[in-house]
Amino acid sequence: MKIYHDISLRPYHSFGIDAVADRVIEVSENDELQQAVKAAGGEEPLVVLGRGCNMLFSDVFHGVVLVMRTRGVCVIADDGDTVLVEAMAGEDWDGFVRYCSNKGWHGLENLVAIPGTVGAAPVQNVGAYGSEAADVIHSVNVFDLETMTMRSLTASDCCFAYRDSVFKHALRGRCVVTSVVFRLSHSFSPNLSYKAVGELFANEGPIGPSQLMAAIGDLRWSKLPHPEVLGNAGSFFKNPIVSRECGAALRTAYPQVPLYPTADGCKVAAGWLIEQCGWRGRRVGQCGVYERQALVLVNYGGASFDDIRQLADAITADVQSRFGIILEREAQYNIT
Ligand X SMILES: Cc1cc2nc3c(=O)[nH]c(=O)nc-3n(C[C@H](O)[C@H](O)[C@H](O)COP(=O)(O)OP(=O)(O)OC[C@H]3O[C@@H](n4cnc5c(N)ncnc54)[C@H](O)[C@@H]3O)c2cc1C
Residues known to be catalytic: 163, 235, 330
- Residue closer to ligand X, measured from CB, 50 or 107: 50
Q: How far is residue 39's CA from residue 45's CA, in Å, rounded to a whole number? A: 13
x/- map, 11-30, ligand X, by CB under 6 A: ---x----------------
Q: Kindly state the number of chain residues that form the binding site for ligand X, as judged by CB under 6 A.
A: 33
H or E stretch covering 89: none
What is the smallest separation between the CB atom of 325 and ligand X, expressed in angstroms? 21
- Residue closer to ligand X, measured from CB, 82 or 131: 131
Residues numbered 108-137 forming contacts with ligand X, rule: CB under 6 A = 114-117, 119-121, 123-124, 126-128
Under rule CB under 6 A, residue 55 binds ligand X? yes
Q: Tell me the sheet residues that pair with 298.
A: 232, 288
Q: Tell me the sheet residues that pair with 52.
A: none
Instruction: Looking at 17-80, list the stretches that DSSP marks H as alpha helix, in order from N- to C-terminal side.
Output: 33-40
- Residue closer to ligand X, measured from CB, 140 or 277: 140
Q: Is 315 exposed, middle or buried (0-12, 13-18, 19+ CB in 10 A)?
A: buried
CB 85 within 8 A of CB 100: yes
Residue 326 phi/psi, 5-degree rounding, is -95, 120
Only segment of 98-106, 175-183, 245-253, 280-288 that touches ligand X (CB under 6 A): 175-183
What is the smallest separation between the CB atom of 334 and ligand X, expressed in angstroms? 8
Which of 56, 64, 68, 88 is the binder for ligand X (CB under 6 A)?
68
How distant, in Å, are the alpha carbons of 83, 107, 149, 219, 324 from that of 201? Answer: 28, 18, 47, 13, 38
Only segment of 43-51, 56-64, 237-245, 262-270 that touches ligand X (CB under 6 A): 43-51
Q: How far is residue 98's CA from residue 104's CA, in Å, rounded to a whole number? A: 10
Site of interaction with ligand X (CB under 6 A):
14, 47-55, 68, 89, 114-117, 119-121, 123-124, 126-128, 175-177, 224, 227, 232-234, 332
